[in-house]
């Protein structure tokens, strides 16, 4: 059986899908990439939260799976909507890459940095570096080029993206002390709900720990009542059979924020993540979220 893998055509998406392909090949599974052009790749002149959120990067790729043109889709898990597309399930989450956000360093004399994410902006503002944010979209190479061409101080990106494209060897950067997006650094493999054959195959490259932490982080975000564009972050650290969550919700100005921690047995990760969200809401995050534009 040949597994057809639906993917976006960006360099990072292709690199991620090729990596999944290689992992499956190691188990003797033949694969083929099916490249899908999405509206999220075409509409680059507006901030992501204004044109429907990160679901723009996943729905059309997932549609190829639903329509039988592919057997699985590969996404950056942080780009996936909280709710599964009807007829699809998350078949596997391979071993996770770094979940850190980083600032790629370019011009120390400038105070302008490229950053399109509301979550990142809200938290970087709290660090009081005095940066002025510039909207930036497009693939990571496009964003890095804009940083250089516009002589910005830097660009905020996920460390996982730099590492997967080997750009961590080409650019200097520093890790930011901010909470990542739910699922950041992980890949999500979606398959048809009724496709037991593909499910059995992709489970070969599934990481149980990555799956547990990612599901819990998704539950955290869902309990807050928002999707991946919400100015909220969560970090999970697994130590033995224990998992430690740090989560937070932030005002867009960075002036207000609520951060809490919760730890407990890894086996109860999802319940702990929900309790963490409820604690954050009870400590003032509900008021912060109420002030956000619908």
Q: Active-site residue numbers?
A: 78-79, 119-120, 137, 143, 228
Tokens 């660009």 locate to: 155
Smallest CA-to-CA distance from 82 within 204, 260, 277, 214 is with 214
Under 8 Å between Cβ of 80 and 228? yes
Under 8 Å between Cβ of 159 and 166? no
Burial 110-140 (b: 16+ CB within 10 A, else e): eebbbbbbbbbbbbbbbeeeebebbebbebb
17: its two tokens = 């899908």
Smallest CA-to-CA distance from 204 within 27, 77, 70, 33 is with 27
- Give the span between the Cα atoms of 257 and 254, in whole angstroms: 7
């Amino acid at each position: 059986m040949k597994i057809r893998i639906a993917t976006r055509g960006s360099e990072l998406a292709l690199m991620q899908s090729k990596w999944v392909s290689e992992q499956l090949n190691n188990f003797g599974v033949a694969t083929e990439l099916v490249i899908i052009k999405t509206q999220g790749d075409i509409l680059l002149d507006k901030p992501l939260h204004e044109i429907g959120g990160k679901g723009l990067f996943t729905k059309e790729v997932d549609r190829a799976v639903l329509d039988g043109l592919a057997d699985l889709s590969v996404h950056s898990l942080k780009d996936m909507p909280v709710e599964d597309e009807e007829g699809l399930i998350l078949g596997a989450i391979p071993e996770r890459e770094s979940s850190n956000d980083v600032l790629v360093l370019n011009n120390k004399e400038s105070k302008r940095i490229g950053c399109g994410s509301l979550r990142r902006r809200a938290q970087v503002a709290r660090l009081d570096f005095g940066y002025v944010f510039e909207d930036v979209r497009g693939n990571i190479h496009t964003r890095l080029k804009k940083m250089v061409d516009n002589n910005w101080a830097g660009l905020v990106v996920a460390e996982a993206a730099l590492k997967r494209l080997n750009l961590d060897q080409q650019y200097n950067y520093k890790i930011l002390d901010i909470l990542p997006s739910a699922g950041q650094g992980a890949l999500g493999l979606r398959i048809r709900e009724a496709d037991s054959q593909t499910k059995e195959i992709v489970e070969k490259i599934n990481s149980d720990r990555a799956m547990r932490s990612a599901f819990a982080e998704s539950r955290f975000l869902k309990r807050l009542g928002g999707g991946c564009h919400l100015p909220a972050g969560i970090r999970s650290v697994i130590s033995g059979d224990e998992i430690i969550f740090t989560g937070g919700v932030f005002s867009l100005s960075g002036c207000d924020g609520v951060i809490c921690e919760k730890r407990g047995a890894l086996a109860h990760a999802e319940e702990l993540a929900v309790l963490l969200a409820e604690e954050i809401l009870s400590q003032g995050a509900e008021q912060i979220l109420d002030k956000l534009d619908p």
